Chain A
Amino acid sequence: MNAARIARRLSAMAVAFVALTAVPVLTPASASTPVATDAFLRGAHFSPDTASVDVYLTAFSGGTTNLWLSGVGYGDVSAYRPITSGTYAVSMRPHGASASNPPVLTWTVNLRPGSAYTAAAVGMSNQLRGVVVADTLKAPPAGSGLVRVIQASSRAGHVAVRAQDGPVLTADTAFGSTTDYVAVPSGRWTLNAQSSTQPTLAGHVGVTVGSASITSVVLLDGRAGGLVLRTVLDAAGAGGVPSGSVLAGGGGTAPHQGAAADRLVAWAGLGCAALVFLWGIRSRRRVSPSRP
Protein backbone atom coordinates (compact mmCIF):
# COMPACT_ATOMS: atom_id res chain seq x y z
CA MET A 1 0.00 0.00 0.00
CA ASN A 2 1.58 3.32 -1.00
CA ALA A 3 1.06 6.74 0.49
CA ALA A 4 -1.09 7.93 -2.41
CA ARG A 5 -3.41 4.96 -1.99
CA ILE A 6 -3.78 5.57 1.73
CA ALA A 7 -4.45 9.21 1.12
CA ARG A 8 -7.05 8.34 -1.53
CA ARG A 9 -8.76 5.87 0.77
CA LEU A 10 -8.77 8.31 3.69
CA SER A 11 -10.10 11.14 1.58
CA ALA A 12 -12.86 8.88 0.24
CA MET A 13 -13.78 8.05 3.83
CA ALA A 14 -13.76 11.71 4.75
CA VAL A 15 -16.15 12.44 1.90
CA ALA A 16 -18.42 9.60 3.04
CA PHE A 17 -18.34 10.92 6.59
CA VAL A 18 -19.27 14.44 5.51
CA ALA A 19 -22.05 13.10 3.29
CA LEU A 20 -23.49 10.95 6.07
CA THR A 21 -23.41 13.66 8.68
CA ALA A 22 -24.57 16.42 6.37
CA VAL A 23 -27.83 14.66 5.53
CA PRO A 24 -29.55 15.19 8.89
CA VAL A 25 -28.56 18.84 8.81
CA LEU A 26 -30.23 19.30 5.46
CA THR A 27 -33.37 17.23 6.05
CA PRO A 28 -35.25 19.58 8.36
CA ALA A 29 -35.04 22.44 5.90
CA SER A 30 -36.75 20.40 3.20
CA ALA A 31 -39.82 20.08 5.41
CA SER A 32 -40.41 23.83 5.53
CA THR A 33 -43.82 24.92 4.41
CA PRO A 34 -44.32 27.80 2.01
CA VAL A 35 -47.64 29.63 2.19
CA ALA A 36 -49.81 28.92 -0.82
CA THR A 37 -52.91 30.91 0.09
CA ASP A 38 -52.80 33.86 2.44
CA ALA A 39 -55.94 35.89 1.70
CA PHE A 40 -59.68 35.29 1.37
CA LEU A 41 -62.10 36.43 -1.31
CA ARG A 42 -65.83 35.98 -1.80
CA GLY A 43 -68.24 37.22 -4.43
CA ALA A 44 -71.66 38.82 -4.02
CA HIS A 45 -74.52 40.09 -6.16
CA PHE A 46 -76.30 43.15 -4.77
CA SER A 47 -78.00 44.53 -7.91
CA PRO A 48 -81.82 44.08 -7.62
CA ASP A 49 -82.62 44.22 -11.34
CA THR A 50 -79.62 42.30 -12.69
CA ALA A 51 -80.14 38.64 -13.62
CA SER A 52 -77.90 35.83 -12.40
CA VAL A 53 -74.26 36.08 -13.39
CA ASP A 54 -71.16 33.94 -13.69
CA VAL A 55 -68.08 35.42 -12.06
CA TYR A 56 -64.59 35.03 -13.52
CA LEU A 57 -61.26 35.72 -11.91
CA THR A 58 -58.00 36.62 -13.61
CA ALA A 59 -54.68 36.81 -11.76
CA PHE A 60 -52.60 39.77 -12.93
CA SER A 61 -49.54 37.59 -12.51
CA GLY A 62 -50.37 34.78 -14.85
CA GLY A 63 -53.28 36.07 -16.86
CA THR A 64 -55.42 32.95 -17.24
CA THR A 65 -59.10 33.61 -16.71
CA ASN A 66 -61.08 31.03 -14.77
CA LEU A 67 -64.72 30.60 -13.92
CA TRP A 68 -65.00 31.22 -10.19
CA LEU A 69 -68.70 31.37 -9.31
CA SER A 70 -71.57 30.09 -11.40
CA GLY A 71 -75.17 31.32 -11.32
CA VAL A 72 -74.89 34.05 -8.71
CA GLY A 73 -78.27 35.72 -8.19
CA TYR A 74 -79.37 38.91 -6.45
CA GLY A 75 -78.66 38.67 -2.72
CA ASP A 76 -76.23 35.75 -3.03
CA VAL A 77 -72.99 35.88 -1.07
CA SER A 78 -70.52 33.09 -1.81
CA ALA A 79 -68.36 31.32 0.74
CA TYR A 80 -64.83 32.68 1.11
CA ARG A 81 -62.13 31.08 -0.97
CA PRO A 82 -58.55 30.94 0.29
CA ILE A 83 -56.45 32.67 -2.36
CA THR A 84 -52.92 33.91 -2.90
CA SER A 85 -52.64 37.62 -2.20
CA GLY A 86 -52.11 39.90 -5.16
CA THR A 87 -54.07 41.75 -7.81
CA TYR A 88 -56.93 40.14 -9.70
CA ALA A 89 -59.53 41.22 -12.23
CA VAL A 90 -63.08 40.18 -11.40
CA SER A 91 -65.48 40.01 -14.33
CA MET A 92 -69.17 39.15 -14.58
CA ARG A 93 -71.06 37.69 -17.51
CA PRO A 94 -74.73 36.74 -17.73
CA HIS A 95 -75.17 33.24 -16.34
CA GLY A 96 -74.35 30.68 -19.03
CA ALA A 97 -72.74 33.16 -21.43
CA SER A 98 -69.56 31.97 -23.12
CA ALA A 99 -66.29 33.04 -21.54
CA SER A 100 -65.35 34.55 -24.90
CA ASN A 101 -68.23 37.04 -24.67
CA PRO A 102 -67.33 40.48 -23.38
CA PRO A 103 -68.13 40.77 -19.65
CA VAL A 104 -70.88 43.12 -18.47
CA LEU A 105 -68.70 44.31 -15.63
CA THR A 106 -64.98 44.09 -14.80
CA TRP A 107 -63.14 45.51 -11.83
CA THR A 108 -59.88 45.06 -9.97
CA VAL A 109 -59.29 43.64 -6.50
CA ASN A 110 -56.03 44.07 -4.64
CA LEU A 111 -55.77 41.37 -1.99
CA ARG A 112 -53.36 41.86 0.90
CA PRO A 113 -51.97 38.93 2.88
CA GLY A 114 -53.99 37.94 5.94
CA SER A 115 -57.09 39.86 4.84
CA ALA A 116 -60.60 38.98 3.64
CA TYR A 117 -62.58 40.77 0.93
CA THR A 118 -65.99 40.79 -0.69
CA ALA A 119 -66.11 41.59 -4.42
CA ALA A 120 -69.66 42.70 -5.15
CA ALA A 121 -71.73 44.08 -7.99
CA VAL A 122 -73.89 46.88 -6.63
CA GLY A 123 -76.41 49.44 -7.92
CA MET A 124 -79.16 49.17 -10.50
CA SER A 125 -78.28 47.48 -13.79
CA ASN A 126 -78.07 50.78 -15.66
CA GLN A 127 -75.53 52.03 -13.12
CA LEU A 128 -73.96 48.70 -12.25
CA ARG A 129 -70.56 48.96 -10.60
CA GLY A 130 -68.11 46.59 -8.99
CA VAL A 131 -66.89 47.26 -5.47
CA VAL A 132 -64.36 45.65 -3.17
CA VAL A 133 -65.28 45.65 0.50
CA ALA A 134 -62.57 44.93 3.09
CA ASP A 135 -63.97 42.50 5.65
CA THR A 136 -62.47 42.53 9.12
CA LEU A 137 -60.84 39.52 10.75
CA LYS A 138 -60.02 41.39 13.93
CA ALA A 139 -61.12 39.77 17.17
CA PRO A 140 -64.19 41.55 18.63
CA PRO A 141 -64.08 42.80 22.24
CA ALA A 142 -64.48 39.93 24.74
CA GLY A 143 -68.04 38.67 25.04
CA SER A 144 -69.25 40.37 21.90
CA GLY A 145 -69.44 40.03 18.14
CA LEU A 146 -69.13 42.52 15.31
CA VAL A 147 -72.10 43.33 13.09
CA ARG A 148 -72.35 45.59 10.03
CA VAL A 149 -74.99 46.44 7.45
CA ILE A 150 -74.79 46.05 3.66
CA GLN A 151 -77.58 48.13 2.13
CA ALA A 152 -78.62 46.43 -1.15
CA SER A 153 -82.30 47.34 -1.19
CA SER A 154 -83.10 49.88 -3.91
CA ARG A 155 -86.62 50.22 -2.61
CA ALA A 156 -85.60 51.21 0.90
CA GLY A 157 -83.09 53.90 -0.11
CA HIS A 158 -81.82 55.36 3.14
CA VAL A 159 -82.19 53.02 6.11
CA ALA A 160 -81.57 52.94 9.87
CA VAL A 161 -80.83 49.59 11.53
CA ARG A 162 -80.73 48.90 15.25
CA ALA A 163 -80.71 45.90 17.54
CA GLN A 164 -83.90 45.84 19.60
CA ASP A 165 -83.03 47.08 23.11
CA GLY A 166 -79.44 47.22 21.95
CA PRO A 167 -76.91 49.17 19.95
CA VAL A 168 -77.60 51.15 16.79
CA LEU A 169 -75.90 49.52 13.80
CA THR A 170 -76.47 52.50 11.51
CA ALA A 171 -78.54 55.64 11.77
CA ASP A 172 -78.54 56.18 8.03
CA THR A 173 -77.03 54.11 5.26
CA ALA A 174 -77.74 54.57 1.55
CA PHE A 175 -78.44 52.00 -1.16
CA GLY A 176 -75.19 50.46 -2.38
CA SER A 177 -73.14 51.18 0.72
CA THR A 178 -71.63 49.14 3.55
CA THR A 179 -71.36 50.36 7.16
CA ASP A 180 -68.53 49.96 9.63
CA TYR A 181 -68.66 47.15 12.18
CA VAL A 182 -70.40 47.73 15.50
CA ALA A 183 -69.69 45.62 18.61
CA VAL A 184 -72.83 43.85 19.81
CA PRO A 185 -72.90 41.83 23.05
CA SER A 186 -73.13 38.12 22.28
CA GLY A 187 -76.60 36.64 22.45
CA ARG A 188 -79.86 36.47 20.55
CA TRP A 189 -81.02 39.75 18.99
CA THR A 190 -83.80 41.09 16.79
CA LEU A 191 -82.50 43.58 14.23
CA ASN A 192 -85.00 46.19 13.03
CA ALA A 193 -84.54 48.12 9.78
CA GLN A 194 -86.52 51.26 9.01
CA SER A 195 -86.41 53.10 5.71
CA SER A 196 -86.43 56.88 5.87
CA THR A 197 -86.96 57.16 2.11
CA GLN A 198 -90.12 55.04 2.31
CA PRO A 199 -91.48 55.47 5.87
CA THR A 200 -93.87 52.52 5.44
CA LEU A 201 -90.98 50.21 4.54
CA ALA A 202 -89.51 48.27 7.45
CA GLY A 203 -88.20 44.78 8.19
CA HIS A 204 -86.60 42.69 10.89
CA VAL A 205 -84.55 39.53 11.38
CA GLY A 206 -83.47 37.40 14.32
CA VAL A 207 -79.77 36.73 14.70
CA THR A 208 -77.56 34.98 17.21
CA VAL A 209 -74.41 36.99 17.73
CA GLY A 210 -71.74 34.59 18.89
CA SER A 211 -68.83 35.68 21.03
CA ALA A 212 -65.92 36.43 18.65
CA SER A 213 -68.21 36.24 15.61
CA ILE A 214 -68.39 38.69 12.70
CA THR A 215 -71.72 39.09 10.91
CA SER A 216 -73.04 41.05 7.93
CA VAL A 217 -76.72 41.97 7.68
CA VAL A 218 -77.76 42.36 4.04
CA LEU A 219 -80.81 44.52 3.25
CA LEU A 220 -82.58 43.31 0.09
CA ASP A 221 -85.62 44.09 -1.98
CA GLY A 222 -88.12 41.34 -1.20
CA ARG A 223 -89.24 39.33 -4.23
CA ALA A 224 -92.87 40.06 -3.38
CA GLY A 225 -92.14 43.60 -2.26
CA GLY A 226 -91.01 44.81 1.12
CA LEU A 227 -87.63 44.89 2.78
CA VAL A 228 -85.85 41.64 3.56
CA LEU A 229 -82.98 41.27 6.04
CA ARG A 230 -80.56 38.40 5.62
CA THR A 231 -77.65 37.59 7.93
CA VAL A 232 -74.33 36.15 6.77
CA LEU A 233 -71.69 34.82 9.16
CA ASP A 234 -68.48 36.40 7.83
CA ALA A 235 -66.04 34.87 10.30
CA ALA A 236 -65.92 33.27 13.73
CA GLY A 237 -63.31 32.79 16.42
CA ALA A 238 -63.22 30.52 19.44
CA GLY A 239 -65.83 31.83 21.87
CA GLY A 240 -63.87 31.29 25.06
CA VAL A 241 -60.25 32.06 24.21
CA PRO A 242 -57.85 30.03 26.36
CA SER A 243 -55.10 32.07 27.95
CA GLY A 244 -51.47 31.41 27.17
CA SER A 245 -49.82 28.33 25.79
CA VAL A 246 -50.67 24.63 25.87
CA LEU A 247 -48.84 22.16 28.13
CA ALA A 248 -48.81 19.04 26.00
CA GLY A 249 -45.80 16.90 26.78
CA GLY A 250 -44.22 14.82 29.51
CA GLY A 251 -40.62 15.18 28.36
CA GLY A 252 -40.08 11.44 27.91
CA THR A 253 -38.45 11.91 24.52
CA ALA A 254 -36.60 15.11 25.34
CA PRO A 255 -32.84 14.64 24.84
CA HIS A 256 -31.49 13.59 28.22
CA GLN A 257 -28.62 15.95 29.01
CA GLY A 258 -28.52 16.14 25.26
CA ALA A 259 -25.44 18.32 24.81
CA ALA A 260 -23.22 16.10 26.96
CA ALA A 261 -24.31 12.95 25.13
CA ASP A 262 -23.68 14.63 21.79
CA ARG A 263 -20.15 15.61 22.83
CA LEU A 264 -19.41 12.10 24.08
CA VAL A 265 -20.51 10.50 20.82
CA ALA A 266 -18.67 13.06 18.73
CA TRP A 267 -15.40 12.50 20.65
CA ALA A 268 -15.83 8.74 20.48
CA GLY A 269 -16.27 9.04 16.73
CA LEU A 270 -13.20 11.25 16.38
CA GLY A 271 -11.13 8.91 18.54
CA CYS A 272 -12.23 5.96 16.47
CA ALA A 273 -11.25 7.75 13.27
CA ALA A 274 -7.86 8.75 14.72
CA LEU A 275 -7.10 5.17 15.82
CA VAL A 276 -7.84 3.74 12.40
CA PHE A 277 -5.81 6.54 10.78
CA LEU A 278 -2.77 5.73 12.94
CA TRP A 279 -3.22 2.06 12.21
CA GLY A 280 -3.15 2.84 8.50
CA ILE A 281 0.06 4.93 8.87
CA ARG A 282 1.76 2.16 10.88
CA SER A 283 1.07 -0.58 8.38
CA ARG A 284 2.23 1.75 5.58
CA ARG A 285 5.56 2.38 7.38
CA ARG A 286 6.11 -1.32 7.92
CA VAL A 287 5.73 -1.87 4.21
CA SER A 288 8.16 0.89 3.15
CA PRO A 289 11.58 -0.70 3.98
CA SER A 290 10.86 -3.80 1.94
CA ARG A 291 10.05 -1.76 -1.16
CA PRO A 292 12.73 -1.61 -3.87
Chain B
Amino acid sequence: MTARGRHRRPRRRRSIAASTALVLCLIAVSGYFRLRADRTDALSRGAPVPSSSTTSSSPSTSPKIIGVATATGASTPRTATTPVHLTIPSIGVSTDLESLKLLANGALQTPSQWDVAGWYTGGVVPGQIGPAVIAGHVDSTRGPAVFYRLHALVAGATILVAEQSGTVLSFVVDRVQVYPKDHFPTTTVYGPAPIAELRLITCAGEFDRRTGNYLSNLVVLAHLT
Protein backbone atom coordinates (compact mmCIF):
# COMPACT_ATOMS: atom_id res chain seq x y z
CA MET B 1 0.00 0.00 0.00
CA THR B 2 2.72 2.39 1.02
CA ALA B 3 4.96 1.30 -1.84
CA ARG B 4 2.20 1.85 -4.34
CA GLY B 5 1.40 5.21 -2.86
CA ARG B 6 5.01 6.29 -3.19
CA HIS B 7 5.05 5.33 -6.82
CA ARG B 8 1.74 6.88 -7.62
CA ARG B 9 2.31 10.35 -6.37
CA PRO B 10 5.00 11.35 -8.91
CA ARG B 11 2.95 9.73 -11.67
CA ARG B 12 -0.13 11.65 -10.73
CA ARG B 13 1.93 14.81 -10.61
CA ARG B 14 3.31 13.97 -14.00
CA SER B 15 -0.11 13.39 -15.51
CA ILE B 16 -1.35 16.66 -14.01
CA ALA B 17 1.64 18.43 -15.57
CA ALA B 18 0.94 16.71 -18.89
CA SER B 19 -2.71 17.74 -18.83
CA THR B 20 -1.75 21.30 -17.99
CA ALA B 21 0.77 21.35 -20.82
CA LEU B 22 -1.79 20.00 -23.24
CA VAL B 23 -4.43 22.54 -22.23
CA LEU B 24 -1.94 25.44 -22.42
CA CYS B 25 -0.84 24.22 -25.83
CA LEU B 26 -4.44 24.05 -27.06
CA ILE B 27 -5.20 27.51 -25.68
CA ALA B 28 -2.12 28.94 -27.44
CA VAL B 29 -3.08 27.38 -30.77
CA SER B 30 -6.72 28.40 -30.57
CA GLY B 31 -5.68 31.88 -29.47
CA TYR B 32 -3.50 32.18 -32.54
CA PHE B 33 -6.35 31.22 -34.83
CA ARG B 34 -8.75 33.48 -33.01
CA LEU B 35 -6.42 36.43 -33.65
CA ARG B 36 -6.12 35.42 -37.26
CA ALA B 37 -9.91 35.23 -37.60
CA ASP B 38 -10.27 38.68 -36.09
CA ARG B 39 -7.85 40.06 -38.62
CA THR B 40 -9.34 38.35 -41.65
CA ASP B 41 -13.02 38.13 -40.86
CA ALA B 42 -13.48 41.33 -42.81
CA LEU B 43 -12.82 39.10 -45.78
CA SER B 44 -15.85 37.00 -45.13
CA ARG B 45 -18.02 40.02 -44.50
CA GLY B 46 -20.26 41.58 -47.02
CA ALA B 47 -22.26 39.68 -49.55
CA PRO B 48 -25.83 39.08 -48.52
CA VAL B 49 -25.53 37.64 -45.05
CA PRO B 50 -27.34 34.62 -43.68
CA SER B 51 -30.34 36.26 -42.11
CA SER B 52 -30.64 33.70 -39.36
CA SER B 53 -27.32 34.55 -37.81
CA THR B 54 -28.28 37.60 -35.82
CA THR B 55 -31.11 38.98 -33.91
CA SER B 56 -29.36 40.83 -31.16
CA SER B 57 -27.30 43.46 -32.95
CA SER B 58 -29.93 44.57 -35.40
CA PRO B 59 -32.05 47.59 -34.70
CA SER B 60 -35.75 46.80 -34.61
CA THR B 61 -36.88 45.55 -37.96
CA SER B 62 -40.42 46.52 -37.12
CA PRO B 63 -41.65 48.98 -39.69
CA LYS B 64 -44.48 50.10 -37.49
CA ILE B 65 -42.94 53.02 -35.70
CA ILE B 66 -41.65 55.51 -38.16
CA GLY B 67 -41.68 58.48 -35.88
CA VAL B 68 -43.23 61.82 -36.44
CA ALA B 69 -41.67 64.11 -38.95
CA THR B 70 -42.82 67.64 -39.33
CA ALA B 71 -43.60 68.30 -42.92
CA THR B 72 -41.54 71.02 -44.44
CA GLY B 73 -42.28 73.19 -47.37
CA ALA B 74 -39.71 73.86 -50.03
CA SER B 75 -36.33 72.29 -49.54
CA THR B 76 -34.38 74.46 -47.15
CA PRO B 77 -30.96 72.83 -47.09
CA ARG B 78 -28.89 73.50 -44.01
CA THR B 79 -25.88 75.64 -44.58
CA ALA B 80 -23.07 73.37 -45.65
CA THR B 81 -20.15 73.44 -43.28
CA THR B 82 -16.97 71.43 -43.45
CA PRO B 83 -16.75 68.25 -41.35
CA VAL B 84 -13.68 68.34 -39.14
CA HIS B 85 -13.80 65.32 -36.82
CA LEU B 86 -15.06 61.74 -36.91
CA THR B 87 -15.86 59.65 -33.82
CA ILE B 88 -17.03 56.02 -33.77
CA PRO B 89 -17.44 55.14 -30.08
CA SER B 90 -18.11 51.41 -30.52
CA ILE B 91 -14.74 50.74 -32.18
CA GLY B 92 -12.71 53.49 -30.52
CA VAL B 93 -12.16 55.68 -33.58
CA SER B 94 -11.54 59.39 -33.06
CA THR B 95 -9.84 61.26 -35.87
CA ASP B 96 -9.65 64.67 -37.44
CA LEU B 97 -10.59 64.83 -41.09
CA GLU B 98 -8.39 66.01 -43.90
CA SER B 99 -9.70 67.00 -47.33
CA LEU B 100 -9.64 64.48 -50.16
CA LYS B 101 -9.91 65.31 -53.83
CA LEU B 102 -9.74 63.37 -57.07
CA LEU B 103 -6.35 62.23 -58.32
CA ALA B 104 -5.25 62.97 -61.86
CA ASN B 105 -6.41 59.49 -62.92
CA GLY B 106 -9.91 60.16 -61.54
CA ALA B 107 -9.56 57.92 -58.50
CA LEU B 108 -10.26 59.08 -54.97
CA GLN B 109 -7.24 60.45 -53.14
CA THR B 110 -6.54 58.74 -49.81
CA PRO B 111 -5.41 60.45 -46.60
CA SER B 112 -1.78 61.54 -46.47
CA GLN B 113 -1.48 60.20 -42.91
CA TRP B 114 -2.15 56.63 -41.77
CA ASP B 115 -3.90 57.75 -38.60
CA VAL B 116 -6.18 60.43 -40.07
CA ALA B 117 -9.33 59.85 -42.13
CA GLY B 118 -10.34 62.16 -44.96
CA TRP B 119 -13.57 63.62 -46.34
CA TYR B 120 -14.13 63.68 -50.10
CA THR B 121 -14.77 67.37 -50.81
CA GLY B 122 -16.01 66.73 -54.35
CA GLY B 123 -19.00 64.82 -52.97
CA VAL B 124 -21.71 65.68 -50.49
CA VAL B 125 -21.23 67.55 -47.20
CA PRO B 126 -22.21 65.28 -44.25
CA GLY B 127 -25.72 66.20 -43.12
CA GLN B 128 -26.82 67.31 -46.59
CA ILE B 129 -29.04 65.14 -48.77
CA GLY B 130 -26.88 62.57 -50.54
CA PRO B 131 -23.92 60.33 -49.74
CA ALA B 132 -21.01 61.96 -47.92
CA VAL B 133 -17.80 59.94 -48.28
CA ILE B 134 -15.03 59.50 -45.70
CA ALA B 135 -12.02 57.28 -46.43
CA GLY B 136 -9.24 56.03 -44.16
CA HIS B 137 -6.43 53.50 -44.19
CA VAL B 138 -6.93 50.06 -42.64
CA ASP B 139 -3.22 49.74 -41.87
CA SER B 140 0.13 51.36 -42.54
CA THR B 141 3.15 49.48 -43.86
CA ARG B 142 3.96 48.57 -40.24
CA GLY B 143 0.72 48.17 -38.30
CA PRO B 144 -2.91 49.16 -37.76
CA ALA B 145 -4.18 52.52 -39.06
CA VAL B 146 -7.22 54.69 -38.38
CA PHE B 147 -9.86 52.34 -39.89
CA TYR B 148 -8.28 49.06 -38.70
CA ARG B 149 -11.37 48.14 -36.65
CA LEU B 150 -13.95 49.33 -39.20
CA HIS B 151 -14.90 45.73 -40.03
CA ALA B 152 -16.12 45.30 -36.46
CA LEU B 153 -18.90 47.87 -36.94
CA VAL B 154 -22.41 46.43 -36.83
CA ALA B 155 -25.81 47.69 -37.97
CA GLY B 156 -27.22 50.15 -35.48
CA ALA B 157 -23.82 51.49 -34.36
CA THR B 158 -23.40 55.24 -34.04
CA ILE B 159 -21.03 57.39 -36.11
CA LEU B 160 -20.53 61.02 -35.07
CA VAL B 161 -19.31 63.73 -37.41
CA ALA B 162 -18.42 67.14 -35.96
CA GLU B 163 -18.71 70.13 -38.24
CA GLN B 164 -16.53 73.20 -38.17
CA SER B 165 -19.48 75.08 -36.68
CA GLY B 166 -19.40 72.79 -33.65
CA THR B 167 -22.55 70.89 -34.57
CA VAL B 168 -22.26 67.12 -34.16
CA LEU B 169 -24.20 64.97 -36.60
CA SER B 170 -25.22 61.46 -35.58
CA PHE B 171 -25.37 58.70 -38.18
CA VAL B 172 -26.51 55.11 -37.68
CA VAL B 173 -24.92 52.18 -39.50
CA ASP B 174 -27.19 50.37 -41.98
CA ARG B 175 -24.72 47.75 -43.14
CA VAL B 176 -21.06 46.88 -43.60
CA GLN B 177 -20.00 45.24 -46.86
CA VAL B 178 -16.84 44.06 -48.56
CA TYR B 179 -16.50 44.40 -52.33
CA PRO B 180 -13.71 43.16 -54.59
CA LYS B 181 -11.93 46.23 -55.96
CA ASP B 182 -12.62 45.22 -59.55
CA HIS B 183 -16.34 45.26 -58.70
CA PHE B 184 -16.41 48.48 -56.69
CA PRO B 185 -20.07 49.54 -56.17
CA THR B 186 -19.76 53.07 -57.56
CA THR B 187 -23.53 53.64 -57.73
CA THR B 188 -24.15 52.37 -54.21
CA VAL B 189 -21.38 54.51 -52.78
CA TYR B 190 -21.62 57.74 -54.80
CA GLY B 191 -25.06 57.54 -56.48
CA PRO B 192 -28.10 59.68 -55.58
CA ALA B 193 -29.58 59.20 -52.10
CA PRO B 194 -32.83 60.81 -50.93
CA ILE B 195 -31.65 61.44 -47.37
CA ALA B 196 -28.40 62.47 -45.70
CA GLU B 197 -26.16 59.41 -45.80
CA LEU B 198 -22.56 58.59 -44.95
CA ARG B 199 -20.10 56.09 -46.41
CA LEU B 200 -16.88 55.07 -44.71
CA ILE B 201 -14.38 53.32 -46.95
CA THR B 202 -11.22 51.38 -46.20
CA CYS B 203 -9.34 48.36 -47.53
CA ALA B 204 -10.01 44.71 -46.77
CA GLY B 205 -9.40 41.22 -48.01
CA GLU B 206 -6.20 39.75 -49.37
CA PHE B 207 -3.09 41.90 -49.61
CA ASP B 208 -1.26 41.62 -52.90
CA ARG B 209 2.43 42.00 -52.03
CA ARG B 210 3.42 42.46 -55.66
CA THR B 211 1.29 45.58 -56.14
CA GLY B 212 1.23 46.66 -52.49
CA ASN B 213 -2.56 46.84 -52.53
CA TYR B 214 -5.45 45.12 -50.85
CA LEU B 215 -7.82 43.38 -53.26
CA SER B 216 -11.10 44.49 -51.65
CA ASN B 217 -12.75 47.57 -50.21
CA LEU B 218 -14.84 47.58 -47.07
CA VAL B 219 -17.75 50.04 -47.18
CA VAL B 220 -19.87 51.14 -44.23
CA LEU B 221 -23.27 52.56 -45.23
CA ALA B 222 -25.00 54.80 -42.69
CA HIS B 223 -27.74 57.42 -42.56
CA LEU B 224 -28.39 60.55 -40.51
CA THR B 225 -30.65 59.98 -37.53
Contacts and interface: CB of A to CB of B under 8 A. Distances in A.
A254 B139 contact: yes
A30 B38 CA distance: 12
Given A70-B68, A139-B192, A235-B192, A251 B212 contact: yes
A269 B67 CA distance: 55
Interface stretch (B81-89, B160-168, B181-189): B181-189
Main secondary structure of the interface of B (DSSP, over half): mixed
Contacts of B195: 40, 79-80, 82
Contacts of B184: 244-246
Nearest to A43: B71
Contact of A251 (B12, B18, B141): B141
B41 A28 contact: yes
A265 B31 CA distance: 11
A17 B131 contact: no
Contacts of A242: 102, 106-108, 120, 122, 186, 190
A80 B36 contact: no
A274 B132 CA distance: 56
B71 A13 contact: no
Contacts of B140: 250, 252
A33 B173 contact: yes
Interface stretch (A61-69, A100-108, A157-165): A61-69
Interface stretch (A125-133, A172-180, A184-192, A279-287): A279-287
A59 interface: yes
Contacts of B198: none
Contacts of B108: 242, 246
A23 B207 contact: no
A177 to B, nearest CB: 20
A238 B101 CA distance: 12
Interface in A7-35: 9, 13, 16-17, 20-21, 23-25, 27-35
Contacts of A25: 37
A291 to B, nearest CB: 10
B79 interface: no
Most chain B beta carbons < 10 A, residue from A28, A32, A258: A32
A93 interface: no
A20 B77 contact: no
A238 B102 CA distance: 12
A42 B194 CA distance: 10
Nearest to A240: B122
Nearest to A218: B74
Nearest to A63: B64
Interface of A: 1, 9, 13, 16-17, 20-21, 23-25, 27-37, 40, 42-43, 45, 57, 59, 61-62, 64, 66-73, 75-84, 86, 88, 116, 135-140, 212-214, 230-255, 258, 262, 265-266, 268-269, 272-273, 276, 279-280, 283, 286-287, 290
18 contacts: A27-B41, A30-B57, A34-B49, A34-B51, A35-B155, A36-B61, A62-B64, A78-B69, A78-B71, A84-B61, A137-B194, A230-B73, A236-B193, A237-B131, A242-B186, A246-B108, A253-B148, A276-B21
Given A24-B38, A240-B123, A248-B136, 20 more contacts: A21-B30, A21-B33, A27-B34, A29-B53, A33-B58, A34-B155, A59-B63, A76-B72, A135-B194, A232-B74, A233-B129, A234-B194, A236-B129, A243-B106, A248-B110, A250-B141, A250-B145, A254-B206, A258-B40, A286-B11
